[in-house]
Structure 1
Amino acid sequence: MLRWNRRPLAGLEPLLSKRKRLISLNTVWDGYQTHTSDRATQHVAPKSICESEALETGDRIDSTSLSEQTASWADTHNSVKRVLDHLKSKQDTGEFFLSDTVNQKFGEFHRNISDECGAEDKQHSWAVLEKKEAIIMYGPYYPNYNKGEHSEDTIIRQTQELLETEGDPEDWKVYIFTMNSPCLARNTDPCMLKLVHKAQEWWRLYGVKTHIGFVRCWGFKGNKENVFKDISYQQVECINQSEDFKSYVQTAEKALTDADPLCEAVFCVAKRLLKSEPVKEFPLTTTVQKQDRKSYCKSMHTKFESKPEDERKVLTQEVRRVTEAAEVLLSDQTGSLEEYLERGSRFILGHSFASQVCGTLQDEMRLAFQQCWTEMVQDMYAEFIREKLTEDFNHCTIQLFIQDILKITAECLQIGKVELSEEDPNAFRF
């Protein structure tokens, strides 16, 4: 039997769209055959008995070691430094996908939840409590950042409530899915650390094993953007011209007028990326940048503020025309830095100016556009590199965290990436 749990938590309604709220709170699907191939024998007993059995078998989770390990990751400054040093040293941490059996379970649950509530790419979480006689699914839940609420907060409370009220938890398993890996930095306790401690608690109290699956590596929310924020186009040029950190510092001190040289760790990580994966093509458009890229052309207005009023009015209207016409250059196709710059040159040289814009005014308009266009392309190039560096940084962060935590919690917890494949026609349906 498969049950979709929609009971709201005390004082908290699930954060669902109107469409999702239409789902019956107590709908039950029959005929679901639970997969049992990966069921492992678990300790099911009150806390004191669980602990004594674990001590006898040598399987007890060391809560002190776990607290020390999570405390080290709660120190974001030192953790960020550790990840950078790891990337700098070029050590391979390996992949961290869930086992095939667990990944298949997540895939099956995901297909059914997507069918019921719609596919979703933005951050959300859902969970499944797998019992011998039933499957209880709850979610999806969405973050409410205005209230400081992450989607995992709701999942944790809902899971706790179910474990306390659903009866004898013999041979149960919990599957928690979140689109982005749980955060490692937050004003309150980070979601990843809370989940790890909750998994230990659920194992010790109920003998329940927890599986956490995610699609994207989120890393240190609020800090990840700061690690590579100083890597500008000029910094990239200095890095490319340097063989080592010493020569980079010398080059940067001469070339950079409004920025300081990068620290050695950031330089080494960026140098490694640019050397191993040269950026041949990149997009000019991303979801975040669609508004920003328009502002580059609009900044042309400031270049004509000192003109006489009559000329300024004509040029202002022409800047608007140029900006609108230049939208054709901002396609979703990728290209090289040189291709984008050449594309901008061809555009402004072939642009038909209004009759009032003639002679030297046309020359000034072309020059202003070229300067703004070049600045935009170079900034988008640097942004692409920063995003790639951030992606690698977050990937390494989660790798190192999982390695550390699973040394202590392997018996009660699995964490890893989920590979969501196309729908398997042989997968269960309901």
Structure 2
Amino acid sequence: MELPMSNCKRPRFSGYENEPPLSSKKCLSSLKTLLDRYPTNSSDRATQHARLMACRGHLCTREAGNLTSDKLFSEQISSWADTQNSVKKVLEHLVYLGKATGDIFLNDAVAKKFLEFHRDITEECGAEEKQHSWAVIEKEEEIVMYGPYYPNYSKGIHSEDIIIQQTEELLESEEFSQQWKVYVFTMNSPCLARNTEPCMINLVQKAHAWWTAYGVKTHIGFVRCWGFRGTKETLFRDIDYGHVDCINQTGNHGDYVEAAKNRTNLNPLCENLRSAVKHLLTCADLSFPLMTTVREQDWNSYFKKVHSIFECKPEGEKKVFAQKLDAAIEAARALLSAKSRSFDKHLEGGKAFPLHSTFAPQVSEALQDEMTLAFQQCWREMVQDKYADFLRGKLTEQFNQCAVQLFIKDIVKFTGRYLHIGRIKFSKEHMAAFEAE
């Protein structure tokens, strides 16, 4: 497969604070050379030797410290590789804080570089809102851009996999790479859960290896927080309107469990899930649009119950009524507002629809009332269903953001010298397009 790559020259961006430490082997070799440069008397040589051996002891201490730090780093990475426990940790953190908090944006200097590279990539390859990745190696006097790459999920390949492969090949092909910087862009933050090594963990480990082997610093920038599984996160999938209603009507977990047990086919949520829902219900703006959440095939299925009212009618009469009812239900689609409204406001919209005028005076007043009640019940169930779907989406968004924030917080204390990870601040227009996707 031929991979896209482009070279361009541009003034090199100013460096960052710390350069990679010299290896102990190189330092100790320098000490020996330094001793040989002093043809002084034995007393002076003894003094110099004592001083340099003290320096050597300091290097050994630093090496031991690095080994300890590497061990802690490895343990932290291993803990995040345990997806089940990591998901539990993130949920507990989300419940404790009440919402995802903290700034995970890249600093302005690094973000500026990403924005410049993004402009170049966009000018050459076009704008793209779907998941993709590209990277840049910044040398002293030129930059090497490669990408964009796209995932091939049917083969289990993520876009970051190709970035890692290409970066390693480029670094291995060069004799000198110290003070280079690698910029990795990915639309969604690298995944934290996968059948193989998750992309985020893989990239962090590779950044450590590139720093150790080549003295290269790595910056990872993204637009959307993907968390473990992104929009396919399953943690909140069992939350329906019945749970939401029970949580709204109870004040603590014990009362909620009892209320849920008294409802048919409603298994209580665990305490942390209930707490996450409770906080969302009390502390967030929960206005949502119906028009963007109800697909056409869903729309007709919600009102099948109204059709059942005519089942006892003669076949010819039933057919006429069914046609009129379909037309009336289709007309009710106009009630679907693209504007964000509260749950109660959406319910009121269904009550205002004059369904009885469609059939009068062909059906009795009693049958018209029955049809109106059935329609309003179907409308209510549709709004409840879409409300629960909206809440699941909000919870997933908060959870994913919290997962990325917590991971960065756990890792940055070990990688601050050579790795930066964070969101990129795009313009409001760019962000609106990304979120719409």
Q: Number of aligned pairs? A: 397
Residue identity matched to 1:168: F
CA shift digits 1:6-31 (9 cap, x unpaired): xxxxxx345xxxxxxxxxx676545x
Q: CA RMSD in A?
A: 3.2
Which structure 2 residues correspond to residues 5-404 of structure 1 after superposition, within 5 A?
12-14=1-3, 29-30=8-9, 32-36=10-14, 38=16, 40-42=18-20, 57=62, 60=66, 62-90=69-97, 94-221=102-229, 225-254=233-262, 256-277=263-284, 279=286, 281-286=287-292, 289-291=294-296, 293-297=298-302, 299-300=304-305, 303=308, 306-307=311-312, 308-349=314-355, 352-353=358-359, 362-404=368-410
SS of the aligned residue for 1:257 comes to coil
Q: Return the offset for 1:115.
A: 2.3
Q: Return the offset for 1:319.
A: 4.1
Q: Return the offset for 1:186.
A: 1.0
SS of the aligned residue for 2:353 comes to helix
C-alpha change, 1:80 and 1:368, in structure 2 (3 Å) is: same
Mapped contact 1:224–1:394 kept (Cα < 8 A): no
SS of the aligned residue for 1:259 comes to coil
Mapped contact 2:6–2:144 kept (Cα < 8 A): no
- Give, in whole Å, the separation in 2 of the partners of 1:249 and 1:51: 66
SS of the aligned residue for 1:283 comes to coil
CA shift digits 1:150-171 (9 cap, x unpaired): 1111111111121122442131
C-alpha change, 1:198 and 1:362, in structure 2 (3 Å) is: same
Where does the alignment leave 5 or more consecutive residues of structure 2 unmatched?
30-55, 430-437
Q: Which one of the candidate residues 400, 418, 421 is aligned to 2:424?
A: 418
Residue identity matched to 1:263: C
- Give, in whole Å, the separation in 2 of the partners of 1:411 and 1:50: 20
Residue identity matched to 1:414: H
Further displaced range: 88-97 or 257-266: 88-97
Mapped contact 1:303–1:368 kept (Cα < 8 A): no
Q: Based on CA coordinates, which of the two structures has the bigger radius of gyration?
A: 2
CA shift digits 1:279-328 (9 cap, x unpaired): 3x211144x65356424445347635844533443344234323432332
- Give, in whole Å, the separation in 2 of the partners of 1:410 and 1:55: 22
- Give, in whole Å, the separation in 2 of the partners of 1:147 and 1:358: 61
Mapped contact 2:246–2:256 kept (Cα < 8 A): yes
C-alpha change, 1:135 and 1:217, in structure 2 (3 Å) is: same
- Give, in whole Å, the separation in 2 of the partners of 1:292 and 1:78: 38
Q: Return the offset for 1:331.
A: 3.1
SS of the aligned residue for 1:139 comes to strand
Mapped contact 2:8–2:144 kept (Cα < 8 A): no
Mapped contact 2:306–2:374 kept (Cα < 8 A): no
Question: TM-score by structure 2 length?
Answer: 0.81
Q: Return the offset for 1:130.
A: 0.6
- Give, in whole Å, the separation in 2 of the partners of 1:302 and 1:192: 51
C-alpha change, 1:260 and 1:223, in structure 2 (3 Å) is: farther
CA shift digits 1:316-349 (9 cap, x unpaired): 4234323432332223211122221221222243
Mapped contact 2:309–2:371 kept (Cα < 8 A): no
Further displaced range: 229-238 or 357-366: 357-366
Q: Return the offset for 1:39.
A: 6.8
SS of the aligned residue for 1:229 comes to coil
CA shift digits 1:238-259 (9 cap, x unpaired): 11111111222222222x2111
Residue identity matched to 1:374: R
- Give, in whole Å, the separation in 2 of the partners of 1:375 and 1:100: 47
- Give, in whole Å, the separation in 1 of the partners of 2:18 and 2:261: 61
Higher helix share: 2
C-alpha change, 1:49 and 1:272, in structure 2 (3 Å) is: farther
SS of the aligned residue for 2:358 comes to coil
Mapped contact 2:306–2:371 kept (Cα < 8 A): no
- Residue identity (%): 51
Where does the alignment leave 5 or more consecutive residues of structure 1 unmatched?
1-11, 15-24, 424-430
